[in-house]
Amino acid sequence: MNTPTLRDKIEETLHTVHDPEIPVNIFDLGLVYDIKIGDKGHVQVVMTLTAPACPVAGEIIFEVQQKVEAIAGVTDCHVQLTFDPPWTKDMMTEEAKLELGFL
C-alpha cells in the first residue's frame, strides 16, 4: 500500500471543507485551482469562490487555512483567493454535478 503524500493529505483535507450554501465540498466543486507545496512545509492553496460576493468567503478561507495547517508536515498555509478564471459549473466533478442535480 502506498503511503499518502503530503499533497494527498491536503487534497483529502480539502474534501472536508464545504461551502455552507452548497452541500458539496470545495474540492469537488472545482474551487481549488492549485496547491503549491514549498520548502519547510509551506503550503499555498489557490482557490476561488462560486461568487465574488460570497457572504461566507472569510469563513471558508479560514477553515481551509486551519485544516491544512493541522496536517503533519505543514508549517503554514496561505490561501490565495482569485477570480481568474471565473468559476463555472463545468469545473465541478461529475459527482458534484450529480449531487446538485446538474446531470
CATH 3.30.300.130 is the classification of domain 6-89: yes
| Alpha helix (H) residue ranges in 5-56 | 6-14
26-79 pLDDT per residue, tens: 999 999 999 999 999 999 999 999 888 888 899 999 999 999 999 999 999 999
Residue with cell 503530503: 6
Determine the Cα–Cα distance for residues 84 and 98; give it in Å rounded to an integer: 25
Question: Any idea where the domains of the chain sit in the sequence?
Answer: 6-89
State mean pLDDT over 84-98. Answer: 95
